[in-house]
Structure 1
Amino acid sequence: MIKLLALDLDGTLLDKGKYISKRNIDAILAAKQKGIEVVIATGRANFDAQNLFKDFPFTPWIIGTNGATIHNPSGELFHSVPLEKSLAISMLKVLEENHLYYEAFIEGEICAPQYGQKLLFEEIAQLKKTEPEIDLDHFQLEVEIQFGQSEFHFISSYQKLVETNSEIYNILAYSFDEDKLKNGWSQFSDIPNITIVQSGVHNFHLQHNQASKGNALTILARKLQIDLVDCAAVGDNYNDLSMLEIAGLSAAMGNADKEIQEVCDFVTKSNNEDGVAYFIEAFLKD
């Protein structure tokens, strides 16, 4: 019997990276009416995720920044696994030296370098030169989503974060240049005590090796006195694997890679076809 439902956002619950469809909303409310605890598990910051639910008749628990944080429905921090501060600063330094766009997730704020906006648009322009037939609408939408996050701020340098007392929970590196992204990933692959996960084709996340959606779901389920066998999870990408593998019932989106789909119990429709609603409706019938 499902008692907790964990939902990823981008590529899963969100249509085109921005909206929660009426059918998905209705399905979530139907699950709530059955007494199911609905939890959001995302790579986004908690406050950005919470903003999506401001007009809902309920506020969910948020597993944020790929499991580095858990916030209760009131927005209070319940649990966190931040990066070691000096290590985080050293990794941000490397990203700046390699002129990679990044976002540093701290409590209540997302920080990105001032050069970031220009850099990403330059990379899109370069793509257009090398692949003139490419449809750039998707890339431009990705940039719009990044810069449209709640509490998003540009900083002059990573050194600004040295001056704060804030923990750094997660670092996102992002590029439309495939070689540049791979090279960036390789520079962190041998660092102990961190995990590198991907939530999209054009990014990777640097986080504490104990921070994952799976670990956070385990901690939250224990807090709510719910067995993992009674949890369901839905996701579409590699940062979702840890929770999909431990949930009693797992669903991959129709738009997920085959590797993600193969580890799940159920493959639903794509995020642009109300795949979350399709899955919820299916298990509520059982």
Structure 2
Amino acid sequence: MEFSAVVLDLDGTYLNGSKEVSARNLAAVIECHRRGMGIVFATARPPRAVKWFLPEELLGIGSFVYYNGAQVVCTLSRAEWHESIPVALTADILDYCAANYSGGHLSMEVRDEWYSLKELDYSAVMNARANPVVKPIEELKEYEATKILLTNIEDPQALIPLFGRQVNILVTDNGTVVQIMPKQASKEGAVSELCRRRGIDMKSVIVFGDDHNDIGLFQTCGYSVAMGNAIKELKELADETTAANDEDGVARVLERFF
């Protein structure tokens, strides 16, 4: 099979359990780039985290879909765009979460700046190298959120009938993380626009993923590969399932096409 681009999720997919890119996975993607394929990293992570985890040689050759599509940067075409949740809607969501999930952890991303209502240590839970800046809720309600994050809460599905028509709500990481993004933001929408700008047919794109936020990509890309550690729903959609992220599952597939 001939592919024009490869799309890679990071956590649970291209990164191993230690949040590192293995030598084999690195070599495979470098070879794809050498052969003229477009390289797209599509992640829920913010820009700063991608810089933490990816080797320097990958940062200069890829296009980057951050926050599940709310922010996009293409290194090669120099294209860049950003989506956000309107101020009034951000305030409504923050008020509801503060009132109904007082025992949970609420934080908010605003264009690569991270804020929360209280001191939180995400170094172990989310492999973050810096924790959010604490600000009062009234100040947070003045921002247009790029993404709102909830962890350690019960019944996250209750948010969907309340706000699901206005924002994009994803429950990931085995139900432990709720990610609230702008309604128009999605990995598949961002990748489709990147491909359109670069003249790449989505049918010629191969995608790798492991979680709920990759489902849209699996439905729109030409060929989809679920990781061995992926959720059941993704494996059922995939054209094939490869080895787990700790077993170089990405490289094992890409090497077949060289």
Tell me if both proteins adopt one fold, taking TM over 0.5 as the criterion. Answer: yes
Structure-2 residue corresponding to 1:264 = 238
Q: What SS does structure 2 have at the residue aligned with 1:83?
A: coil
Structure-1 residue corresponding to 2:150 = 173
Decide whether aligned partners of structure 1 residues 36 and 76 sit closer, same or farther in structure 2, where only a CA change above 3 A counts. Answer: closer
Give the 5 Å matches for 1:97-176: 97=99, 98-99=101-102, 100-117=104-121, 141-143=124-126, 145=127, 147-148=128-129, 152-163=131-142, 167-175=144-152
Quick check: 1:38 aligned with 2:39? yes
| 1:67/1:215 contact within 8 Å kept | yes
**Identity %, equivalent residues:** 24
State which of 197, 209, 215 in structure 1 corresponds to 2:183: 209
| 1:102/1:174 contact within 8 Å kept | yes
Structure-2 residue corresponding to 1:190 = 162
- In the alignment, residue 39 of structure 1 is paired with which amino acid? V
Quick check: 1:13 aligned with 2:14? yes
| 1:102/1:116 contact within 8 Å kept | no
- Deviation of 1:76 after TM superposition, in Å, equals 6.7
- In the alignment, residue 111 of structure 1 is paired with which amino acid? Y
- Deviation of 1:74 after TM superposition, in Å, equals 7.8
Decide whether aligned partners of structure 1 residues 185 and 155 sit closer, same or farther in structure 2, where only a CA change above 3 A counts. Answer: farther
Structure-2 residue corresponding to 1:92 = 94
Decide whether aligned partners of structure 1 residues 69 and 77 sit closer, same or farther in structure 2, where only a CA change above 3 A counts. Answer: farther
| 1:234/1:276 contact within 8 Å kept | yes
Structure-1 residue corresponding to 2:213 = 239
Question: Residues of 1 paired with 2:218 and 2:92: CA distance?
Answer: 32
- Deviation of 1:155 after TM superposition, in Å, equals 1.3
- Deviation of 1:90 after TM superposition, in Å, equals 1.9
- Deviation of 1:25 after TM superposition, in Å, equals 0.4
Q: Which moved more, 1:42-51 or 1:32-41?
A: 42-51
| 1:251/1:268 contact within 8 Å kept | yes
Question: Residues of 1 paired with 2:79 and 2:179: CA distance?
Answer: 21
- Deviation of 1:50 after TM superposition, in Å, equals 3.1
Question: Residues of 2 paired with 1:54 and 1:157: CA distance?
Answer: 36
Quick check: 1:71 aligned with 2:73? yes
Decide whether aligned partners of structure 1 residues 66 and 57 sit closer, same or farther in structure 2, where only a CA change above 3 A counts. Answer: closer
Q: What SS does structure 1 have at the residue aligned with 2:148?
A: strand
Q: What SS does structure 2 have at the residue aligned with 1:189?
A: helix
Question: Residues of 2 paired with 1:81 and 1:278: CA distance?
Answer: 35
Question: Residues of 1 paired with 2:235 and 2:65: CA distance?
Answer: 22
TM-score, normalization by structure 2: 0.89
- Superposed CA RMSD: 2.2
Question: Residues of 2 paired with 1:75 and 1:172: CA distance?
Answer: 30
Quick check: 1:83 aligned with 2:85? yes
State which of 198, 220, 227 in structure 1 corresponds to 2:201: 227
- In the alignment, residue 146 of structure 2 is paired with which amino acid? Y
Q: Which runs of 4+ in 1 moved over 3 A?
A: 74-77
Decide whether aligned partners of structure 1 residues 75 and 85 sit closer, same or farther in structure 2, where only a CA change above 3 A counts. Answer: farther
- In the alignment, residue 200 of structure 1 is paired with which amino acid? D
Question: Residues of 2 paired with 1:274 and 1:141: CA distance?
Answer: 23
TM-score, normalization by structure 1: 0.81
Q: What SS does structure 2 have at the residue aligned with 1:255?
A: coil
Decide whether aligned partners of structure 1 residues 272 and 250 sit closer, same or farther in structure 2, where only a CA change above 3 A counts. Answer: same
- Deviation of 1:241 after TM superposition, in Å, equals 0.6
- In the alignment, residue 220 of structure 2 is paired with which amino acid? I
| 1:197/1:204 contact within 8 Å kept | yes
| 2:168/2:183 contact within 8 Å kept | yes
Question: Residues of 1 paired with 2:137 and 2:255: CA distance?
Answer: 46
Decide whether aligned partners of structure 1 residues 103 and 281 sit closer, same or farther in structure 2, where only a CA change above 3 A counts. Answer: farther
